[in-house]
């Protein structure tokens, strides 16, 4: 028993539970904002603990700024908010069930349900996070124009923070969530978070020979990408060996640093294609004029 008590005491000490307000602003940061939800949807705010300490969220508050620029519409975290672990995420929303319906959610325990959140308008607004001592822990005054300019529709697209250590108010530190992540990553790593990729970016296709016959083995080709940064737009077109386009697989998809798309071997309108070699042409570009093009061959096989 003494040994167990000694172990538990040491464990609790090592965890450095912080019951008081975070000692430094930026210990907990605003990491993702959905202010223009889908029709019938709900806003959410994701926060992240940058420290090595467990931080007690009792008495913490979320707010906005009113027309005069003063902090307003302050909402206190519910008592069940508990703590935020080191390197962990929590998601503030009025409608956890709807968020789970609209986005991929990996851990429902990250959600903190609020009866009401402050108003976060679509065009511009301010998200203000305060600790239990009424000190501003982090703040983001966002603009709709922070979204990727080539997006046709921002509805249902979350703004993601790119780097934890970059300023919260730096517009360049925010980007629209990637299309292949469902345009939002509530409760886990952002699709646009900074990542060390290859210097020039890469596209890989596996397997190079696939057989879409629904037998559970190599039924589709995975087209994976790895770029040095997020914010690229991707188009993927499949051509037959004569150079005739037979499938527009991806059109204007916003990409994070890494991700993938699948091809099931079908043509337009789900048309079955004959066995043979096909060319996958991938083009990625950003708003600064940087463009990358990749051309690769794969083989579609069918059982006779």
Note the pLDDT tens digit of each residue in 241-262: 888 999 999 998 888 888 899 9
Taking the C-alpha atoms of 123, 124, 129 and 130 in order, what is their torsion angle to the nearest 10 degrees?
-130
DSSP string of 185-227?
Answer: -TTS--TTS-----TT-EEEEE-SEE--SSSSSS-SEEEEEE-
**Adjacent-strand bridge partners of 283:** 235, 293
8 Å CB contact between 159 and 49: no
Coil, helix or strand for 132? coil
Q: Exposed (0-12), middle (13-18) or buried (19+): which is 62, by Cβ within 10 Å?
A: buried
Q: How far apart are CA 5 and CA 15, in angstroms?
A: 15
- Local confidence band at 200 (pLDDT 50, 70, 90 cut-offs): low
Half-sphere exposure of 263 (CA within 13 A, CB side): 35
Tokens of 30: 């605003």
pLDDT digits (tens, 9 = 90+) for 75-99: 999 999 999 999 999 999 999 999 9
Tokens of 153: 């529709």
- Local confidence band at 194 (pLDDT 50, 70, 90 cut-offs): low
CATH topology of domain 202-300: Immunoglobulin-like (2.60.40)
Q: Averaged over 56-70, what is the pLDDT?
A: 95
Q: How far apart are CA 11 and CA 1, in angstroms?
A: 15
8 Å CB contact between 42 and 101: no
Of 198, 247, 254, nearest in space to 220 by CA: 247
Of 190, 174, 165, nearest in space to 26 by CA: 165
The structural domains of the chain, with segments of one domain joined by +, span 16-181, 202-300
Radius of gyration of the chain (CA): 23
**Adjacent-strand bridge partners of 50:** none
State residue 302's pLDDT score.
87
pLDDT digits (tens, 9 = 90+) for 98-142: 999 999 999 999 999 999 999 999 999 999 999 999 999 999 999
Same fold, 16-181 and 202-300: yes
CATH topology of domain 16-181: Immunoglobulin-like (2.60.40)
Coil, helix or strand for 296? strand
Residue partners of 271: CB distance under 8 A and separation at least 6: none
Q: How far apart are CA 220 and CA 213, in angstroms?
A: 9
């Amino acid at each position: 028993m003494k040994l167990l008590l000694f172990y538990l005491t040491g464990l609790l000490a090592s965890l450095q539970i912080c019951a008081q307000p975070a000692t430094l602003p930026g210990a907990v940061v605003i990491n993702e904002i959905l202010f223009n939800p889908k029709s019938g949807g709900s806003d959410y705010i994701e926060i992240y603990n940058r420290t090595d300490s467990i931080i007690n969220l009792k008495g913490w508050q979320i707010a906005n700024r009113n027309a005069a620029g003063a902090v307003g519409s302050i909402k206190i975290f519910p008592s069940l908010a508990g703590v935020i672990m080191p390197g962990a995420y929590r998601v503030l929303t009025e409608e956890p069930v709807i968020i789970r319906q609209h986005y991929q959610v990996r851990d429902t325990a990250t959600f903190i349900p609020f009866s009401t959140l402050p108003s976060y308008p679509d065009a511009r607004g301010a998200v203000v996070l305060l600790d239990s001592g009424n000190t501003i822990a982090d703040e983001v005054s966002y603009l709709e124009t922070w979204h990727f300019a080539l997006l046709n529709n921002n509805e249902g697209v979350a703004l993601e923070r790119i780097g934890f250590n970059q300023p919260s108010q730096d517009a360049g530190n925010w980007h629209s969530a990637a299309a292949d992540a469902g345009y939002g990553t509530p409760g886990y790593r952002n699709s646009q978070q900074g990542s060390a990729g290859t210097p020039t970016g890469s596209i890989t296709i596996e397997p190079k020979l696939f057989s879409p016959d629904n037998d559970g083995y190599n039924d589709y080709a995975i087209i994976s990408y790895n770029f040095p940064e997020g914010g690229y737009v991707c188009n993927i077109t499949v051509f037959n060996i004569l150079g005739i386009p037979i499938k527009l697989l991806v059109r204007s998809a916003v990409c994070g640093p890494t991700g993938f798309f699948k091809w099931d071997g079908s043509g337009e309108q789900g048309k079955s294609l004959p066995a043979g070699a096909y060319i996958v042409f991938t083009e990625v570009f950003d708003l600064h004029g940087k463009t990358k093009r990749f051309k690769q061959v794969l083989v579609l096989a069918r059982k006779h």
